[in-house]
Structure 1
């Protein structure tokens, strides 16, 4: 591969007057990926992929812009597709697109998987693919998207406080752009990955979602066994063409005899590997139904749902010390706060020090309804033009309307930095409920957990805020955070809907 024009560490210029390139973090057949800072969003880290292809003419630029735009639109609809923020063409003609920067592991580095983990990750991959195959509506017309390069290297698995493992599918739409802009110098040139290509893809035919399902079948086989369904003598096109068109896949039991696979799952994988598209599952929904059936038949050692009424109070309050809990119950609604539905953060002074808490005033029936809701939290920070933190707590129950509790904290304020530092030091924080109805007393105290990764981020943000020069533009930063908040709400709800088995109560 030719060296990217931005690979030199001496190059400190901005890309598109917005992205400060920092370092090369990955490379492959489709291009190179750089870590960069988004200056417009206060230095937020992003990943920028420069495609190996050079966009040589206006038509190709239009093709790339169309594919990148559709990919970006798709990423707003599914939490399981890596978010694309921006795209363009460099001064030297290299197309690039800007993605969210994620710290995780490639699926190829995790396989083979245990059966429960296989089902967990596969379900999320299917949800992302299903969203793409259903298409994007542009000007009243629906455009289905086919990935064309489904393989373990294009699946990223990242830690997640809700799902534990969150799947992100990479490079949507870009494979198609590379395919139909490739030179016609050889009839065998294409941009898929040979071990995962469907027979119709190797023949250069028009592809639909069933081609992705074939690639998914190859990947499912590999996720469980660590091997491909075929072992051709060479890795050249001809050998793989013969395997995909004429050779039956190996039996999973022959590749890994110790793997006790449910027959229904074995049948599903082999159906995905059918040579003819008409013999495969015709859509992702059929695969998802097969996975749901496995869970219902108790094939997998997965936790069962617990009814909300059976959740003990100790589960709800397990994260809070007795001292903190007793302090919360003794509190009175502050006289300087209005009697209305509001939420605000405040430090509690206890014997051991200070504890950050959320104070809420809600109608009695809402407090009662959300007593057994699960709690989730997210934090977003921007440094520029003014250091500000968004702290969001969500009370979630599938039977109720989600209750969002956002707090915007000016991080130039010393008291707010102390509050955020307390969040970083304590793995749980209390939510203190006061009734909107008189006499406005404290009627409930529950806790929400902050995972270690989030706590480390909070510590870093406090330090960064201390070292930033004075600013007087908090309203601009709050406006930017509100935009990100709307996106985060839809993403968080998608994650919760992707979680098939949920235990009520404290997380």
Structure 2
């Protein structure tokens, strides 16, 4: 049955500060209480004075004989979050969220456990979602769950003083897309794939931390009101969310899909670039926000920002009142953002597709080695070959540019893995087997302290023209380029890095090519199997070396 919206009744509801979470349902968790909140909001919390007393009594208590609570770092209607130390793991800092004692009923226990489950499963699939490590109950049967402790700034803190410059906006927004894309694709729950709708995308739920390998790393927080969509299940027709970021259909209590998150994401993207929301109201009531989201046209972008028109159009599409008029998925948004990145890097306002071209392979070596700038430009315009499967594979190619040639490895991985690997430590090693068939195994390892190694083995057959050309180019250039292509997206190169080869190894490569000219060769598959066995034997030694080199780094 459709919900009848009572505007007069909505305006009589308790008013909360602009952009705070509205407590129209006992399952909601308002943002952390601050001194600036109005009297009605303060009264709401004062009515739960036991919450503050409980927080004080918990200070320095030990949960599950493992987690030492150190200090309260956040609280809301649903519970408290503490900074804690994991005594079992030597005092590692973690965050512990406990359900409020005023909400200890079976329904809330199940909801709290589901929140922990959703976050844990999503955190295992994406580095851009806060990780949940443990779940349990204390000696008073109060449930809690343990998360990674994040030291950084929320997006709301970052943009409080000034909007983001375009390059930083694109970097952080892409990462938010990765996390949302993972949630919308869903998790396996009770034997079926269930998409997750966050329902509360806003700047305060986006944390930006510093990662030693990746630089700025985005984490999506608070799946406390997330909706797990199961087949055959009707959704509860009640409002949940933050007024300034809610989609029109969300305010009506309608059944939601991922396009509701896209609307909220559009508001946040606009705010990241301008410092203000695209729709606003002078009255922070539910009814006023309802009218704003349903009927007010979003503010246009100030021309002084000099944003690419494609970006402005994308964000305004996200803000469409009807879900059918918005981008079809976060993947669609991500692909459009990726097309803008080369434009920002080169300060050229034209579509990447206008100058994207396919790259021809090298026919001869009678050219000088290409410059680094030209090589990078060529790589970022490259398209995945139509004759190669869209799978997690690696292969080598010699590429031609106007001023020379260069060696490259083409790699297809998940987007999130690419984000990790472009900032990983690079290591390479060459193995050579002259008999039964002359074959080189180029071992490339991209190693990240947290996410481990990504092995990129590539065989070079020295009895084929292609293998000989590739080996000679590697020897002459002393480096090669690694092109990353997204498994989920379009055919264009996502990112590119270089790997250097020591001078003495370059000389050895030249000698291997010369030594392989004589004889007929044998079965190349046998040589490949033998080289793979040798690689398997070497892997522990290579990893030990990489871990040793990283041990002294902060």
Task: Give the structure-2-normalised TM-score.
Answer: 0.54
Higher relative contact order (CA 8 A, sep 6+): 1
Deviation, 1:364, is 4.3
Structure 2 residue aligned with 1:22: 70
Q: Which residues of 2 match residues 210-289 of structure 1 at below 5 A?
A: 210-253=259-302, 257-289=303-335
Relative to structure 1, is the Cα distance of residues 16 and 449 closer, same or farther in structure 2, using a 3 angstrom cutoff? closer
- Alpha-carbon contact 2:428-2:442 (below 8 Å) kept: no
Partner secondary structure for residue 109 of structure 2: helix
Give 5+ residue unaligned stretches, structure 2: 1-44, 229-235, 353-368, 374-426, 434-438, 460-501, 509-530
Q: Distance in 2 between matches of 1:360 and 1:45?
A: 35
Indicate the residue corresponding to 1:158 in structure 2. Answer: 209
Question: How much does 1:34 deviate?
Answer: 0.8
Report how far residue 75 of structure 1 moved: 0.9
Aligned to 1:42: 90
Q: Determine if the alignment matches structure 1 residue 176 to structure 2 residue 249.
A: no
Partner of 1:143: 194
Count how many residue pairs are aligned between Structure 1 and Structure 2.
346
Q: Where does residue 67 of structure 1 map in the other structure?
A: 115
Q: Go from structure 1 to structure 2 and tell me whether the alpha carbon gap of 1:393 and 1:275 turns closer, same or farther (over 3 Å shift).
A: closer
How far apart are 1:230 and its partner, in Å? 1.8
1:375, 1:394 within 8 Å by CA — same for their partners in 2? yes
- What pairs with 1:296-375 in structure 2 (closer than 5 Å)? 296=342, 298-301=343-346, 363-364=431-432, 369-370=442-443, 373=444
Match among 123, 127, 140 for residue 79 of structure 1: 127
Alignment of structure 1 residues 78-97 onto 2, 5 Å: 78-90=126-138, 95-97=143-145
**Does residue 167 of the first structure (1) align with residue 213 of the second (2)?**
no
Q: Is the 8 A contact 2:95 2:146 kept in 1?
A: yes
* Contact map agreement 2:202 2:265 (CA 8 A) in 1: yes
Matched residue of 1:213: which SS?
helix
Distance 2:432 2:370 in 1: 18
Match of 2:340 in 1: 294
Contact 1:54 1:95 in 2 (8 A): no
| Other structure's SS at 2:83 match | strand
The within-5 A match list for 1:445-484 is 457=554
2:244–2:280: 8 Å Cα contact kept in structure 1?
Answer: no
Change (3 A) 1:209 1:361: closer
Counterpart CA distance in 2 for 1:290 and 1:132 is 19
Tell me how far apart the structure 2 counterparts of residues 175 and 70 of structure 1 sit (CA, whole Å): 11
Kept in 1, the 8 Å contact 2:120–2:132? The answer is yes
Which residue of structure 1 lines up, in the alignment, with residue 484 of structure 2? none
Q: Counterparts of 1:451 and 1:220 in 2: how far apart (Å)?
A: 39
Measured in 2, the distance between the counterparts of 1:249 and 1:94 equals 44
Aligned to 1:324: none
Which of these two proteins has the greater Rg computed from alpha carbons? 2
Where 1:156 maps in the other structure, the secondary structure is: strand
Does the C-alpha gap of structure 1 residues 175 and 167 become closer, same or farther in structure 2, counting only changes over 3 Å? Answer: same
Q: 2:149 aligns with which of 87, 90, 101?
A: 101
Superposed displacement of residue 31, structure 1: 4.0
Match of 2:21 in 1: none
Deviation at 1:160, TM superposition (A): 1.9
Instruction: Give the conservation status (yes or no) of the 8 Å contact 2:263–2:320.
Output: yes
Question: 1:286: Cα distance to partner?
Answer: 1.0
CA contact 2:184–2:196 (8 Å) conserved in 1: yes
CA distance in 2, matches of 1:145, 1:62: 17
Tell me how far 1:163 sits from its aligned partner: 2.7
User: Tell me, what secondary structure is at the counterpart of 2:290?
Assistant: helix
What is the aligned partner in structure 1 of residue 168 from structure 2? 117
In the other structure, the counterpart of 1:194 is 243
How far is the alpha carbon of 1:102 from its aligned partner? 1.6
Residue deviations 1:320-363, cap 9 Å, x none? xxxxxxxxxxxxxxxxxxxxxxxxxxxxxxxxxxxxxxx99973
Residue 51 of structure 1 deviates from its aligned partner by 4.4
Shift of 1:260: 0.6
Equivalent-residue separation in structure 2 for 1:159 and 1:284 (angstroms): 24
Question: Structure 1 stretch 261-270 or stretch 131-140: which is displaced more?
Answer: 131-140
Q: Distance in 2 between matches of 1:197 and 1:170?
A: 17
The alpha-carbon deviation at position 398 of structure 1 amounts to 9.7
CA distance in 1, matches of 2:168, 2:149: 24
Distance change >3 Å, CA 147–CA 451, structure 1 → 2: farther
Deviations 1:348-393 (A, max 9, x none): xxxxxxxxxxx999734899724xx5754427xxxxxxxxxxxx97
1:112-140 deviation per Cα after TM superposition (whole angstroms, max 9, x unaligned): 11101111111110111011111112343
CA deviation vs aligned residue, 1:146-195 (integer Å, no higher than 9, x gap): 111101111111112333211110112x11389xxxxxxxx997441110
SS at match of 1:8: helix
Change (3 A) 1:117 1:448: farther
SS of residue paired to 1:205: coil
